[in-house]
Amino acid sequence: MKIIADNLRITQKSIADAVMQKNPAPLQDMVKRCENAGAEGIDINSGPLYRNPESQMTFMVEAVQDVTRLPVIIDTSNPKALKAGLAASKNPVTLNGISLEPFKLEQILPLARAYACDLICYLLYPNGHVPPDSAGRLEVAVSLYQKCREAGIEPDRIIMDPVVAPLSWQDGLFQAREVLTVIRTLPDLLGVSVRTIAGLSNLAAGAQASARKHLAEQVYLPMLAASGLSMALMNVLHTEPVRVARMCRLLSQESIFTWEMVP
Amino acid sequence: MKIIADNLRITQKSIADAVMQKNPAPLQDMVKRCENAGAEGIDINSGPLYRNPESQMTFMVEAVQDVTRLPVIIDTSNPKALKAGLAASKNPVTLNGISLEPFKLEQILPLARAYACDLICYLLYPNGHVPPDSAGRLEVAVSLYQKCREAGIEPDRIIMDPVVAPLSWQDGLFQAREVLTVIRTLPDLLGVSVRTIAGLSNLAAGAQASARKHLAEQVYLPMLAASGLSMALMNVLHTEPVRVARMCRLLSQESIFTWEMVP
């Protein structure tokens, strides 16, 4: 399970200001802190970038890649920004992402094909809603997988996001369990060892921080890992979840055999 | 996932002395502390009890059950002690346990049948060795399940213990992953939703306590829960693992739907 930083977000005022002023330092500082903390990939969450999407995304991608060789995830629903980010990227890049929403299928799927990059597929209904259970998500996964294959996307480029829902939802615990079922079931269902990603921060979204919420994240992460999750998108500047994530990798990564040989 | 206390062990000098002197207070104090800490069952680990097995086990079971209505697990390889414990028990009782070792099949299996109690089956080879991988354990599980059924033990009385191996073993991490595979695979393999138990303390056995070992336990426990473990045998007087175990139950117990409704 790889650890992907979700810390670089334009919703943070310091990052928004830096992008507006084309000042790379705050972005680069954040990226270096994330890499030092153990990030193995950087999600560049630019938001929709309504104004000057191309130049702003180009700036963000270049700023990030001037200080890291880590893979990046370009996280926006704006196809113009995605395209500019793809063109500017030297590092391995993942598009984040598509769903069954028609606009995204039409605009973003061809980009993933043209650039032969990795692509995150959200298991959401065409109207953007979260399916009520694992069966709904798996049905969406089959449709999305077919759309990708028809568009010429190779299976090993596809990364499924089962959509972690907030525990504060009325059926939050049920949703959390259904996500585990989806991750465990997808490879058998699709007949390929498709990769998966999950946004851990969503679990406690919309709720006040508390010891109980932190504990939920720390317990849910190993459950995701044991279910076969490939990539955890998370705040890597929180020390404890990163320690847990590293231990998850140790306990779940098939290439590591021996406890005494690892740092 | 139920939390079973492994704290009541005759290897603790205070418990050994109390049993020798037939003084129930230290046992009862321990049991009350375990119950307060969240234990849902008490493992009575008496060791082999070479001298006076009947009277010593009767004393232990009665001492425990005078202060708790929790189910107990009678944990000894001595059939005389097991029988005395069964006869003395008012609370629900589990025998711990059998394996393919011929002596145990001959002596303990009939007891489980006669008292219609739950029975723990260790996935060990007939010589008592730990199988090298999940395939070996699953093969043993099939044999043990057949032995149990032939002896008239009902499937819902059978609890499989896949045998958590110490991480300090040369292939410790591999073993840890194989145990998860076994827990996940058993219901499909046997065609019944057979229960499972795992001894969490074994994971760091034989190694010096360290932050890393504690972290391994705290990460492995949710992995066990996500794999479908029914019962975690653990030190319930360590606060942090118990907090983790309770959160595991919350996140994995199918009858609990809503985060806000739980304490």
Q: What is the pLDDT of residues A153-182, one digit of tens each?
A: 999 999 999 999 999 898 999 999 999 999
- Rounded Cα distance between A166 and A168, Å, is 5
Tell me which DSSP letter residue A78 carries.
Answer: -
Which of B216, B218, B251 is facing A220, going by the closest CB pair?
B251
Q: What is the mean pLDDT of residues B223-242?
A: 95
Judge whether residue B206 has pLDDT over 90.
Answer: no
Above pLDDT 70, what percent of chain A? Answer: 97
Q: Given this model, what pLDDT does residue A111 score?
A: 96
Whether residue A251 and residue B177 make contact (CB cut-off 8 A), yes or no, is: yes
- Asked if A244 and B171 come within 8 Å (Cβ–Cβ), the reply is no
Do B231 and B159 contact (CB within 8 A), yes or no? yes
Which residues in B lie closer than 8 A to residue A242 (C-beta atoms)?
Answer: none
Instruction: Report which of residues B153 and B259 the model is more confident about.
Output: B153
The mean pLDDT of A66-78, rounded to a whole number, is 97
Q: Can you tell me the distance from the alpha carbon of B169 to that of B257, in angstroms, rounded to the nearest whole number?
A: 39
Report the pLDDT value the prediction gives residue A143, as an integer from 0 to 100. 98
Q: Do B257 and A219 touch (CB under 8 A)?
A: no
Q: Of A224, A254, A258, which is closest to B171 when you measure between CB atoms?
A: A258
Judged by a CB distance cut-off of 8 A, whether residue A132 touches chain B is: no
Q: Is B37 on the interface with A (CB under 8 A)?
A: no
The pLDDT of residue B262: 54
Tally of CB atoms within 10 A around B86: 18
Which has more pLDDT, B151 or A206? B151
pLDDT, tens digit (0-9, with 9 covering 90-100), for B119-142: 999 999 999 999 999 999 999 999
pLDDT value at residue B259: 67
Cβ neighbours around A261 below 10 Å, total: 9
- Please identify which residue in the block is written with the tokens 């000098």: B13
Q: Does domain B126-251 have CATH number 3.40.430.10?
A: no
How sure is the predictor about B229, in pLDDT bands with cuts at 50, 70 and 90? very high
Average pLDDT (B131-154) is 98
Classify A2-261 by CATH class.
Answer: alpha beta
With an 8 Å Cβ cutoff, is B50 touching chain A? no
Cβ-Cβ contacts under 8 Å for A160 (sequence gap 6 or more): A120, A121, A123, A141, A144, A182, A186, A194, A195, A196, A197
Which of A202, A259, A260, A262 is the best residue to mutate to test the B interface, defined by the most B CB atoms within 10 Å of its own CB? A259
B210 touches chain A (CB under 8 A): no
**What pLDDT does residue A222 have?**
97
- Closest CA–CA distance from residue B247 to any residue of chain A (Å): 6
Q: Is the pLDDT reported for residue B155 higher than 70?
A: yes
Closest-CA residue to B213 (of A247, A226, A246): A247
Residues B26-65: tens digit of each pLDDT:
999 999 999 999 999 999 999 999 999 999 999 999 999 9
What is the average pLDDT across B151-176?
95
Tokens of residue A55, six digits: 């130049």
Residue A187 contacts B where some CB pair is shorter than 8 Å? no
Say if A34 is an interface residue toward chain B (CB within 8 Å).
no
ipTM of the complex: 0.92
Q: Could you state, in order of their start, the residue ranges of all structural domains in chain B? A: 1-91, 126-251
Q: How far apart are CA B114 and CA B47, in angstroms?
A: 23
Task: List, in sequence order, the alpha helices (H) in chain B.
Answer: 13-20, 25-37, 53-65, 79-88, 102-107, 109-115, 134-150, 172-190, 211-226, 239-252
Q: In whole angstroms, what is the distance from residue A165 CA to residue B102 CA?
A: 51
Q: Which of A33-47, B105-119, B204-218 has the lowest mean pLDDT?
A: B204-218
Do A148 and A184 contact (CB within 8 A), yes or no?
A: no
Distance in Å, alpha carbon of A260 to nearest chain B alpha carbon: 7
Average pLDDT over residues B189-204: 95
Residue with tokens 């058998």: A188
Helix (H, G, I), strand (E, B) or coil at B76: coil
pLDDT at B75 over 60: yes
Q: Is some CB atom of chain A closer than 8 A to the CB atom of B132?
A: no
**Residue A129 pLDDT exceeds 80:** yes
Q: Round to whole Å and give the CA distance between A78 and A113.
A: 17
* pLDDT value of position B196: 98
What is the 8-class DSSP label of residue A28? H
B123 in contact with A at a CB cutoff of 8 Å? no
The verdict on a CB contact (< 8 Å) between A252 and B177 is yes
**B252 neighbourhood in chain A, CB within 8 Å:** 177, 223
Contact B218, B238 (CB under 8 A): no
Closest-CA residue in chain B for A211?
B243
Which residues in chain A are contacts of B171 at CB distance < 8 A?
257-258
- What does the pLDDT average to over A116-124? 97
Q: Are strands A72-75 and A93-98 parallel, antiparallel or unpaired?
A: parallel
Residue B257 has pLDDT above 80, yes or no: no
Cβ B173–A257 below 8 Å, yes or no?
Answer: yes
In a mutagenesis test of the B interface, which of A219, A250, A262 is the best target, namely the one with the most B β-carbons within 10 Å?
A219
- Looking at residues A21-37, what average pLDDT do you find? 98
Cβ proximity of B12 and B44 under 8 Å: no
Tally of CA atoms within 13 A in the half-sphere of B224 that contains its CB: 34
Name the residue facing A172 among B176, B223, B258 (closest C-beta). B258
Q: Do B225 and A223 touch (CB under 8 A)?
A: yes
Q: Give the chain A residue whose CA is nearest to the CA of B168.
A: A259
CA–CA distance, A140 with A76 (Å, rounded to integer): 21
Average pLDDT of chain A, as a whole number? 94
Burial of A255 (0-12, 13-18, 19+ CB in 10 A): exposed
> What is the pLDDT at residue A35?
97
The mean-pLDDT minimum among A53-57, B88-92, B209-213, B249-253 falls in B209-213
Which has more pLDDT, A259 or B82?
B82
Q: What is the model's pLDDT at position B213?
A: 85
For residues B232 and B204, which has the higher predicted lDDT (pLDDT)? B232
| pLDDT band, very low/low/confident/very high, at B204 (cuts 50, 70, 90) | confident
Whether A248 sits inside 8 A of B177 (CB atoms) is no
Mean pLDDT of chain B: 94
Nearest-angstrom CA–CA distance, B155 and B98:
15
Tell me the residues of chain B between 228 and 247 that have a Cβ less than 8 Å away from chain A: 243-244, 247
Q: What is the pLDDT of residue A205?
A: 83
CB pairs under 8 A between A and B: 98
Range A126-151 average pLDDT: 97
Contact (Cβ atoms closer than 8 angstroms) between residue B219 and residue A251 = yes
Q: State how far residue B262 is from chain A, nearest Cα, in angstroms.
A: 10
A225-246 pLDDT, tens digit per residue, is 999 999 999 999 999 999 999 9
Model confidence at A9: pLDDT above 70: yes
Partner-chain residue, chosen from B172, B244, B260, that has the shortest CB–CB distance to A219: B244
B181 touches B145 (CB < 8 A): no
Q: DSSP character for B9?
A: B
Q: Would you say residue B261 has pLDDT above 70?
A: no
- The pLDDT score that the predictor gives to residue A206 is 74
Contact B220 A222 (CB under 8 A): yes
Nearest Cβ partner of B247 from A172, A174, A216? A216
Backbone angles phi, psi at A152, to 5 degrees: 90, 15
